[in-house]
Structure 1
């Protein structure tokens, strides 16, 4: 999120210092999945609309970054398959078909998959069998499967590298690497660094993953609960040689994501309690076995990387963005948990609107004020 905020600040011509605890981009997720999956199309609300708009606009944002840097971000609107192993799930899925036809539309674009002229429409189709042999295995399709044409994927590492490359050539953004922030003095308008130095600011966007929570808590009125917590995730990469055009697979918390080079990423766990944030264990082994059962063609392919990392989960689960209620010169930009890569660019826009003293245009539950209110209960 911090990289996107700096990119958006560069576009606006805003004089900015991007402070990075390590090397540029190291604070962002170096994960493997990159699944960009929309919320279910039923029970539509402002949060689902915000995510829909974000996932839609990310396609153009990535294209612009790629054109500017000459680097691929590994983006593709691949779609998604969701197996329906039980009959009652098909009844529920069939209802979502109508919901998608109403809500998964973008006016003003060329016609896609039928629908009105001038409307881009994405589908949620319930099928009897997979259009792709063995993806997934037919034994999981007792009641068929869903084919969603809206989901996409991106390479987290390639996108991060492209954003960092753009910023290294920026005119308005200075980069301060190896400067870990230890404290924010909001009243004085200064950040203090672990190595002993400090830097003044007129506005400060705090986008430090799970480390943002204690940084903000430290200059806030006492809260009854933490603003958020780190959640560990584990994932793996299989040297599968699969068709990169295959859709994502999702079943009961297991994601399979084919990437441009034919590798398949799988994950992920969600662990609130853990001893080592960067180790992998039997929980990942179980996911690998589940993946090989879901797609038997993966049974003989090697695991070429095992990964573990921490994701920031705000107390009210939603992303956390906006000015501090008592120190408007400090703006939060974080949370996001599992949806960060899909919405970060729009949240960065919102944070910069707050810097400029404008309304952010995000759901009220996303605001830092809301999260602090929840933490005070």
Structure 2
């Protein structure tokens, strides 16, 4: 039975571990701190599709992933008897300027063509108003877009559900508290931060921002880092609102009603920061903007302020699949803002690649070998 080492216990690593365990592999999951302690353990859980225009392979892949996630979540919840906080709520986007309405009307037609699944049609509706008091009328002077494809999940609850599913499997071992600091693919071994060693037949690096130093060390010659960390800040408010309300999104502000009487607000995107885990006035400004968009939140108490680092590959796309120099090494990282919607599909691709069996297609721009080739061309 193949011994698989999964490095990282975020959303990517957990889906990879579960998919591999279901395929009969022996899985050793190693996490530096605790499962979900990185960017995956945040507050938002937005499942947002790309715009329906200018269709391409990347948009098709994400669309298929968002559609299939509903079934995957249902199976996971049935298996564990727990809830992930998943709901296809749709999304409201206010149109603050006349030209935005004209663009949105074009997208309405694009969605009819491109947002079509085998068993249903998803829509991009342009309306004069919307939200039933959830979204301020002043924010939508020229109407709103309501799309029926978007949704949300509770990040921490889906991570806990995945952990439960893994803990119930005898072919899975989970080690927390000391990450992997060096990998030797040629000899099938890795060194942990506490000095201990682990062996493997195959290894998946899915350690979020911690993936990039490991990848860089194994991809010489590179002088451009394979990825970077982008800080995000978010907050959780206590608010008695309908959990079926759609996600509000505009100008980088997300407002997401969850099932447990809380509303998440996020998030910043900071390329420069002094403290990766500190919240500051940027989050204060985000909360101010959120209460203008959704006035019912004006007096909602903030119960948690959160900050974390999200992994962004140098080419902006996720880095996925077999390493070109090391046939037993695989990458699954760089999802940045879209990880929760596509992690299950990317994990399936990587596990199938390890098992050398037919699999789904993913965009060429996602493949690890193409990321490495592009970074080496920059060097040359």
When normalised by structure 1's length, the TM-score is 0.95
* Structure 1 position 198, deviation (Å): 0.8
Alignment equivalent of 1:38, drawn from 36, 40, 49 = 49
TM-superposed CA distance for 1:139, in Å, is 0.8
Q: CA deviation at 1:224?
A: 2.6
- Alignment deviations for residues 167-205 of structure 1 (CA, whole Å, 9 cap, x no partner): 111122122222310101122221111111111211101
Structure 2 residue runs without a partner (length 5+):
1-11
Long gaps (5+) in structure 1: 110-119
State how far apart, in whole Å, the 2-side matches of 1:133 and 1:174 are: 48
- Does structure 1 residue 126 correspond to structure 2 residue 137? no
CA deviation after TM superposition for structure 1 residue 160, in Å: 0.2
Aligned to 1:373: 373
1:24 & 1:343 partners in 2: Cα distance? Answer: 19
Distance 2:238 2:37 in 1: 25
Asked if 2 retains the 8 angstrom alpha-carbon contact of 1:322 and 1:368, the reply is yes
Name the CA distance, whole Å, in 1 between partners of 2:199 and 2:185.
10
Q: 2:348 corresponds to which residue?
A: 349
Tell me the SS of whatever aligns to 1:106: coil
Partners of 2:74 and 2:246 in 1: CA distance: 20
Match of 2:176 in 1: 177
- Give 1:242-261 correspondences, 5 Å limit: 242-261=241-260
2:5 paired residue number? none
Q: Secondary structure at the match of 1:89?
A: helix
Report the counterpart of residue 270 of structure 1 in structure 2: 269
Which residue pairs with 2:202 in the alignment? 203
CA RMSD of aligned residues (A): 1.2
Aligned to 2:117: 106
Residue 217 (str. 1) matches residue 216 (str. 2): yes
Confirm whether residue 29 of structure 1 aligns to residue 28 of structure 2.
no
Cα distance in 1 for residues equivalent to 2:160 and 2:148 = 27
1:310-359 per-position Cα deviation (integer Å, ceiling 9, x unaligned): 10000111111111111111000111000000000001011112212346
The 8 Å contact of residues 36 and 156 in structure 2, kept in 1 or not, is answered as: no
Instruction: Tell me the equivalent position of 1:95.
Output: 106
Structure 2 Cα separation of the partners of residues 179 and 85 of structure 1: 49
Query: Post-superposition shift, 1:27?
Result: 4.5
TM-score computed with the length of structure 2 as normaliser = 0.94
User: Tell me, what secondary structure is at the counterpart of 1:225?
Assistant: coil
Could you tell me which residue of structure 2 aligns to residue 67 of structure 1?
78
Q: What is the number of equivalent residue pairs in this alignment?
A: 365
